[in-house]
Structure 1
Amino acid sequence: MTFESELAERKDELSEKWAELILRTYPKETQKIWVRQKDRFQNPVGAAIFEATRALVDLIIEWQDAEKIAEELDRLIRIRSVQDFTPSQAISFVFLLKKLLRDEFFKPMQAEDRLGDLLRFEARVDNLAMMSFDIYSKGREEIYRMRVDEVKRSQSNLLRKAGMIADVTADSSAD
């Protein structure tokens, strides 16, 4: 039996455990609510974390569609990037998967002399971390660009109201 097929057999359990590890990175009161309440309307963030980990475990096992993997990573990263996490904390959820895999499989695989299979699979998790860093960086760039654009619009509006610059739309309609 391949390591991927072992993971596939336990994917629901593993994705649930991974989501719970992620939720433990939040303050205690938040954890209590998000772990207990899985309804997507009463707990959209917790539900999104559980859904994303479920999808990611499937995608990591298959390791076929980088675009879909990036989409699911983006879902988790967007949640964590707007919260009070440092960049490393925001993407640390990827390494929690590695911890989970080692906790669940290291000893049995060591006893069966199959640690190479685990290490090969962990390379996928390392690739997820690199993808996550790229996604996080791109998202932050987007946020900063939006902030700069907003400042430019605000300054332009102030200058226009002060009569220091002409209203381009009013000038072009006079032609």
Structure 2
Amino acid sequence: MTFENKLAERRTELSEKWADLVLQTYPKETQKVWARQKDRFQNPVGAAIHEATGDLFGQLIEWRDADVIAASLDRLIRIRAVQDFSPSQAISFVFLLKKLLRDEFFKDMKKDGTLEDLLRFEAKVDNLAMMSFDIYTKSREEVFRFRVEEVKRSQHNLLRKARMIVDVTADNSAD
């Protein structure tokens, strides 16, 4: 049985453990709320993390299409890009998967001489980390662009209300 087959058999269990590790990167109070609240409408972030880690775990096992993997990764990174995480903290969830896999499989695989299979699979996780960094950077750029646009809109509205500028579109609609 290949290592990927072992992972596939335990996919649900391992992806839930991975999601729990990701949730542990949040402040203690947030963790308590998200642990208690399972409803996706009451806890959309927690639900999205569980869904994204489940999707990613399955796609990582198969590694068929990097674009599909990137799309799943994007869902999780967008959540973390708008939160108060440093870049390293935001993508640390990828390395939590390596920790989980080592905790679950390292000793047995070392004993039976198949540790190379784990190390080979970890190369996929490393590729996921590199993809994560690129996606995180793009997401943060988007967040900053939205913030700049919002400041510009706010300033424009304040100046218009103070009658320091004339809104051309408003004047044309009155004609």
TM-score, normalised relative to structure 1 = 0.87
- Give the secondary-structure state (helix, strand or coil) at the position aligned to 1:21: helix
The letter of the residue matching 1:5 is N
- Give the secondary-structure state (helix, strand or coil) at the position aligned to 2:100: helix
How far residue 147 of structure 1 moved from its aligned partner, in angstroms, is 2.0
1:142 equivalenced with 2:142 (yes/no): yes
User: RMSD in angstroms over aligned alpha carbons?
Assistant: 2.2
How far residue 166 of structure 1 moved from its aligned partner, in angstroms, is 5.7
Q: Hey, what's the Cα distance between the residues in 2 that align with 1:31 and 1:161? A: 43
1:94-124 CA distances to partner (integer Å, 9 max, x unpaired)? 1000000111111111111111111111011
Structure 2 residue aligned with 1:40: 40
Structure 2 residue aligned with 1:66: 66
Structure 1 residue aligned with 2:115: 115
How far residue 164 of structure 1 moved from its aligned partner, in angstroms, is 6.1
The letter of the residue matching 1:138 is K
Q: Percent identity?
A: 76
Structure 1 residue aligned with 2:84: 84
Deviates more, 1:110-119 or 1:66-75: 66-75
Structure 1 residue aligned with 2:49: 49
Q: Hey, what's the Cα distance between the residues in 2 that align with 1:20 and 1:68? A: 23
Structure 2 residue aligned with 1:19: 19
How far residue 142 of structure 1 moved from its aligned partner, in angstroms, is 0.8
> Are residues 155 and 39 of structure 1, via their aligned partners in 2, closer, same or farther at CA, if it must alter by over 3 Å?
closer
How far residue 126 of structure 1 moved from its aligned partner, in angstroms, is 0.7
TM-score, normalised relative to structure 2 = 0.87
- Give the secondary-structure state (helix, strand or coil) at the position aligned to 1:92: helix
- Give the secondary-structure state (helix, strand or coil) at the position aligned to 2:121: helix
Q: How many residues align?
A: 175
Identify unmatched segments of 5+ residues in structure 1.
none
